[in-house]
Chain A
Amino acid sequence: MGGALVDQSPPHITYTEQFYEVFPYYLSIGMTYDQFWNDDCYLAKYYREAQKLREERANVQAWLQGAYVYIALDRLKPIFGLRGGRVEPYLEEPLPLTSQEAEERQRAKEEQNLKKAVAMFSAWAAKLDLPEGGE
């Protein structure tokens, strides 16, 4: 005991260190050195958004290409002598790129199912010959 007081505060991380940490990512999505360091700092935000759009577009293109391959294989079935067996249909839409997108799709699907169920129930109820005014 009786030792000198030691500064136990966590080491201070400077903004500069944080800039350098993410700098390679921004270079990889097309930002130049000058844009990152000297231009309007909001450019980084728009580069990120543009990158998201690029990824979505690439995903749709990959999905479309997959669809063509699927159709081509389907048409070539006789050559391979494939018969019988259950053929799975191709994906209805591109795979979600993020968990957030997956959740959104799940939510949209549930909403759609609910709407379908309500419509079916309403149609069924309309067919029933129910007495007017309850009792």
Chain B
Amino acid sequence: MAKQLVFEYEGVTYTLEYTRKSIEQMEREGFRPQDIVDKPISTLPALFAGAFYAHHRFVKREKVDEIFAQMGDKEALLEKLAEMYQDPILTLLEEPAEGKKIMWEARW
């Protein structure tokens, strides 16, 4: 099941999700995931707006920006959106066979 982020704003329930098509559209518009690190201030709103393409394609950008401005805990939001953004590509990769996985840990 695809990862989704659900919230309600002004009586409307929004479901944020990335499909391969929405990622294609975001990249066509110039979105580059590596910019999240270099230019997080300008990239995060675009990442947020791209998550609307799957289920709320016709919501205007001004509305999306308005919602974004109201979102709490932006750091956690960025983390979740980045994780969701990876899924359409990660689900195309083969998992290594059982017993052959190299375990790893992040140290930061």
Contacts and interface: CB of A to CB of B under 8 A. Distances in A.
A14 B29 CA distance: 12
Contacts, number: 51
Interface size class, chain A = 10 to 19
B85 to A, nearest CB: 9
A19 B20 contact: yes
Interface in A21-47: 22, 36-42, 44-45
Contacts of B54: 38
B43 interface: no
Interface of B (DSSP majority class): loop
B18 A41 contact: yes
A42 B92 contact: no
B19 A19 contact: no
A38 B91 contact: no
Contacts of A45: 91
Nearest to B53: A38
Interface of A (DSSP majority class): helix
Interface size class, chain B = 20 to 34
A40 B24 contact: no
B89 A18 contact: yes
Contact of A100 (B28, B32, B97): B97
Interface string B1-44: 11000000000000000111101100110001110000000000
A15 interface: yes
B88 to A, nearest CB: 4
Interface of B: 1-2, 18-21, 23-24, 27-28, 32-34, 54, 87-89, 91-92, 94, 97
Closest 4 CB pairs of A and B: A37-B21, A41-B88, A40-B2, A16-B24
